[in-house]
Structure 1
């Protein structure tokens, strides 16, 4: 019995000595306060895999003379204090990377992280992010709207961007209002309003909202700006009815939906858009092409890159080109104005939450101006072929985490759409 007791003491002593050698220290204090930070001194303050109570070199995520995460932005999830200092548990996007002495970190804001992300990918434009609903939003800008005149990118309304296909959600919202009021139905036939289109008796409003109508068209740039009536007539001449019912993205669907809105209400699409959405939501920095005089000096230029050089091939957006697609991309606006619309889609100002759910349920890939194939997330993108303009929206249902990004020069290394998703991830994890 005595021998067993002595052996136990020897084992316990061995464990205690091993613990000291491994750098085990008891926790004196714990805090669950979270904040954003930038890694500044990883060489001096290594990152440990197992926490502040195991601070030997064998538990470091990198050799003491190297750095895995130089200047990276991270989320501090928790802090623990031992006699050697206070250590932070770090998350990089959705991955826990370890623990680091807080002396190696610098506290930062979401705005700083979003701004740095735009700079990292060399994006020119303006973005608005929501990290935790509408009470936690930031707006960031980078680069120039007009490089020659040194006009900086802005989201305050002094610079306008072509909204492109993000407008389709506005057209769809008006259609949903008409469905709710009984003036249209998801099963209403296109032939009711445009019987001259081949196969229109087999095409429904639902199919047009979900891009499964089989309608297709080529882009056109008229010599001068079109009126609404001229744009509808032009689309009727150029569209192709393929008879296919698989998802196929085409402006023709939403241009004709704008025409149907005008026919049903006996008012122009422009009047409906102005009264039902723009005026109602106070979108003071939104301009409709074909209806309003435009100060083109306020409109951002499109740029591309030539090797390492930014702001090559400056191009103006073609207003006649926009006028040819009412309902599908004939607006100039700002990220903040579009955010007002996005909120109005679910808070009752434009649609109720129930109406929005119906609007986004007509298709499995695309519905009501949104891509809906990813559970719990809605997104859409807009662009004009041959130009550096791109608009994007990516958000959780309810917009708790959200990014709206307007670009006039595409990002480095990522596609324009993937950059919008990257900004959404910044809003989600920081």
Structure 2
């Protein structure tokens, strides 16, 4: 009888701990007009050419835009698609699946795939995934590149390696992956 009571007690304690540690759903706060103006000012002051989507009244999305460029073709609009940003999720998932199938290792050297990249022997897949590769490419083409070969050639031409291996968000890490 003592064992049954002990099991019941432990089960109830476990359930209580589960309920207390399970995070509750948090709704995004509604962004008022003053905060929207502050966000707009932030984008202006930091020269951000982009779009910010925030939660408005009654859960309706509010778009905050800032056109910080002299080239009208490069102005970011809310209705413009940016497929390459979607590819990061797909790329990360694909790399993870290859890792699960043991077709790729986190510590695989970049030199296995791109030996022509400076520092590729010291850069791993893990570092590309974590943005700690030390690779930098802040150069942007003035017009869209046609095809994968043109994109790779452009990336390789403008790529720099800073040898630091500290976190620095760079699109080039996922472009390589």
TM-score range, shorter chain: 0.5 to 0.7
Contact 1:190 1:205 in 2 (8 A): yes
- Measured after TM superposition, the shift of residue 254 of structure 1 is 1.0
What corresponds to 1:191 in structure 2? 111
Within a 5 Å distance, the mapping from 1:27-46 to structure 2 comes to none
1:175 is matched with 95
| Runs of 5+ unmatched residues, structure 1 | 1-109, 130-137, 146-152, 258-430
Give the CA deviation at 1:164: 6.8
Q: How far apart, in 1, do the equivalents of 2:174 and 2:85 lie?
A: 10
* SS at structure 2 position matched to 1:200: coil
Matches within 5 A, 1:249-288: 249-257=169-177
Other-structure match for 1:232: 152
Contact 2:137 2:160 (C-alpha < 8 Å) held by counterparts = yes
1:246 aligned residue (148, 166, 173):
166
Greater fraction of residues in strand? 1
CA offsets 1:339-364 (integer angstroms, 9 cap, x no match): xxxxxxxxxxxxxxxxxxxxxxxxxx
TM superposition shift of 1:204? 0.6
Match of 2:33 in 1: 119
Q: Say which one has the larger Rg.
A: 1
TM-superposed CA distance for 1:217, in Å, is 1.3
Unaligned runs of 5+ in 2: 1-26, 41-50, 66-76
| Map of 1:211 onto structure 2 | 131
1:100-156 residue CA offsets vs partner (Å, 9 max, x unmatched): xxxxxxxxxx78x62xx1533246754469xxxxxxxx85223588xxxxxxx98xx
TM-score by length of 1: 0.26
CA contact (8 A) 1:212 1:246 kept: yes
Alpha-carbon RMSD across the aligned residues, in angstroms, is 3.3
Q: Is the 8 A contact 1:118 1:142 kept in 2?
A: no
**Mapping 1:1-16, distance limit 5 Å:** none
Q: Name the residue aligned to 1:422.
A: none
1:218 Cα deviation from its structure 2 partner: 2.3
Q: 1:175 to 1:163 in 2, by over 3 A?
A: same
| Paired positions, count | 126
What SS class does the counterpart of residue 202 from structure 1 fall into?
Answer: coil
CA shift, 1:231, in A, is 0.6
